[in-house]
Amino acid sequence: MLSPFYQQHADHISISREQGCRFAKCVADDYNPLHDKDAKRFCVPGDLLFALVLSRYGISKKMEFTFAGMVDENTKLNFPEGGEEFAITSGEKVMLRVKREGENSTCQTLTDSLIKNYVEFSGTTFPHVIIPLMGKQDVMINPSRPMVIYESMLINLDNLAITAPTLEFAEPDFEYTGKRGKITLRFNLLENGKKVGSGEKHMLVSGIREYCQETVDDLITFYNQRKETLKPVA
């Protein structure tokens, strides 16, 4: 499932601008300008790194991912031997820290299902969830420079005897001081209608300003037009 979105070299993995852009738009439905192939400060989607880790190391009952560096088309990613704690690096720089606990499953069906459902959930949070969540506190992101940075995420599974869990949104949180804030998006994992786990996604926001409905309407219109224009053919 992931092979079109990275290049395997003898001792490292790399991801081109085209590959990162296509993953964001075709798989995650994520139209963050940082993932555009011609972006001045292009950044590989964090969800693609998450997906590569699951594909390589399998699914553990408890998993925590902390994003420590911006990956671009020149980054040479090194994937070490798996363990309870390890880091995906580029040279001496840590790009992603991973912590795992409990049993581990390498079931391909479960892995593909969790990747697909999580990245779809993750990619659709802006603007549909984030903007209304911030609006409850009468603030919004900077429309000319919407800086929303993926900080970390965690997943807790009750058991691994599952094959196709789906995700549903749970109650999110937003707290801020001045122009900076933190968003916590929560989700439950379900199989056959029964809850089998839960998780959280944490994001940092900067450039927070007073809420303006007209500006929000313009931002959502711009986002929808951009999505319609840039959606590539899968």
In the prediction, which pLDDT does 233 show? 63
At residue 231, does pLDDT exceed 80?
Answer: no
Residue 52: pLDDT band with limits 50, 70, 90: very high
Residues 132-188 pLDDT 10s: 999 999 999 988 877 888 999 999 999 999 999 999 999 999 999 999 999 999 999
Q: 134: left (phi > 0), else alpha (psi -120 to 50), else beta? A: alpha
The rounded distance, in Å, linking the Cα atoms of 215 and 59 is 42
The total of other beta-carbon atoms located within 10 Å of residue 164's CB is 14
Q: What's the CA gap between 113 and 176, in Å, rounded?
A: 34
Could you tell me the pLDDT band of residue 234, with boundaries at 50, 70 and 90?
A: low
d(CA 183, CA 114): 22
Confidence band for 109, pLDDT divided at 50, 70 and 90: very high
Which residue is it, tokens 């555009």? 36
Q: What is the mean pLDDT of residues 43-55?
A: 96
10-44 pLDDT, tens digit per residue, is 999 999 999 999 999 999 888 888 899 999 989 99
Distance CA 12, CA 79 (A): 7
Instruction: Name the pTM for this structure.
Output: 0.92
**pLDDT higher than 60, residue 124:** yes
Query: What domains are there in the chain, each with its CATH number?
Result: 3-230 (2.40.160)
With left for phi above 0 and alpha for psi between -120 and 50, is residue 34 left, alpha or beta?
alpha
